[in-house]
Homo-oligomer: A and B are copies of this chain.
Amino acid sequence: MPIADKIQNFLGGASWIRKMFEEGEKLRQKYGEENVYDFTLGNPNVEPPQALKNELKKIAENPEPGMHRYMNNAGYQETRNAVAQVLSEESGLSFRPEHILMTVGAGGGLNVTLKTLLNPGEEVIVLTPYFVEYKFYIDNHGGKVKEVSTQDNFKLDLDALEQAINSCTRAVIINSPNNPTGVIYTEEELKNLGTLLDKKAKELNRSIYVISDEPYAKIAYEGFNVPCIFNYIKNSIKVTSHSKDLALPGERIGYTAVNPQIEDAGEIMAGMIFCNRTLGFVNAPALAQRLITSLQRETVDIEAYQEKRDILYDNLTRLGFKMVKPQGTFYLFPESPVPDEMEFIRKAQEYNILLVPGSGFGKPGYFRMSYCISKKIILNSIPAFEKLAHDMGMA
């Protein structure tokens, strides 16, 4: 074998999302951009806020000497200051730059965090349905994935969690607002989770961390807000990126913040800075760090996403699809009208509708729709969904 056996096997079961994306490319060439309803990729079609464009111009017109050099592996002091200040305001806790690591997106931050925490064979709990990449990230660093179900409405199932925690548990990854369901955990849910983890940590005499993956934290819809994890769970590490809130996924910029209330916060940060270096990230891209420093309070247009959610939610429920109404993100996670969601997805493809199977998220019988695409394509897709629903005997 020219490459490692494990990678060879992974390649065999390559990412469904990517497969569907390639299928989409073919269909787009055949039928034209606007007649293919591609709900597969979480690649925002919106532009970053104007403030970001201004910032880039400012940097380009007055390039500071040394601005492309290495900085501290943790990132620029100024950038970490700006993040710490916003987190302090949000949480009422005292965040300092020493609690912040600038990272190569949330993907980078999650790998760094997991590498820092995991001894060989330790378990990381993920809540189904979950973001596909978690299982690779955990496996990268010798950890074991432990899947725990959520409730029917995708809320935390604390009983299931309690049963799953054992003397090998190192961390729980939560993701709220959730990809793929769009669900946001409430203050009460997080409080109860914190209480449970405290109890189990005492019982088992070990630290159990919550790794809170929050790239969608700013994309919360009317009537909902995302509680600040640091106020409810002491052993919490927030991992996030500006891929969605500033629409910069290609720039690979995010940060990881350690709860200042963790006794060993300093040691965890030292470990993370080390792992950021030795995993080959070295530091978050310099230009991107400069770009986002003054933009910590900026966000892309949330209302536009909410409008898209409403169009799809209203129409799909009208057609008989069942789903939890998303409270944030730009995903819908409806039930498949037939038990085998692949059968449904293949049928949808006949109508140029591209979807991702729930199995990829550890939840068969469902499918994911990503609606960070143009409103026009979303509107165009409704008649196609009508035909599809009719074909499936739903209407």
Contacts and interface: CB of A to CB of B under 8 A. Distances in A.
Given A7-B116, A7-B274, A10-B274, A285 B2 contact: no
A243 to B, nearest CB: 8
A390 interface: no
A73 to B, nearest CB: 8
A67 B249 CA distance: 10
B133 A2 contact: no
A136 interface: yes
Interface string A115-136: 1111100000000000001001
A288 B207 CA distance: 39
A215 interface: no
A190 interface: no
A57 B61 CA distance: 6
A268 to B, nearest CB: 6
Given A53-B63, A69-B250, A247-B68, A7 B275 contact: yes
A80 to B, nearest CB: 15
Contacts of A53: 60, 63
Nearest to A63: B53
Given A119-B6, A278-B133, A286-B251, A270 B57 contact: no
Interface in A312-351: none
A264 to B, nearest CB: 4
Given A10-B274, A60-B59, A250 B107 contact: no
Interface range on chain A (Cβ under 8 Å from partner)? 35 or more
A65 interface: yes
B69 A271 contact: no
Interface stretch (A41-49, A218-226, A357-365): A41-49
Given A63-B53, A117-B3, A287 B104 contact: no
Most buried by B among A57, A251, A264: A251
A109 B280 CA distance: 8
A5 B119 contact: yes
Contacts of A43: 69-70
A2 B206 CA distance: 8
A249 B68 contact: yes
Contacts of A107: 280-282
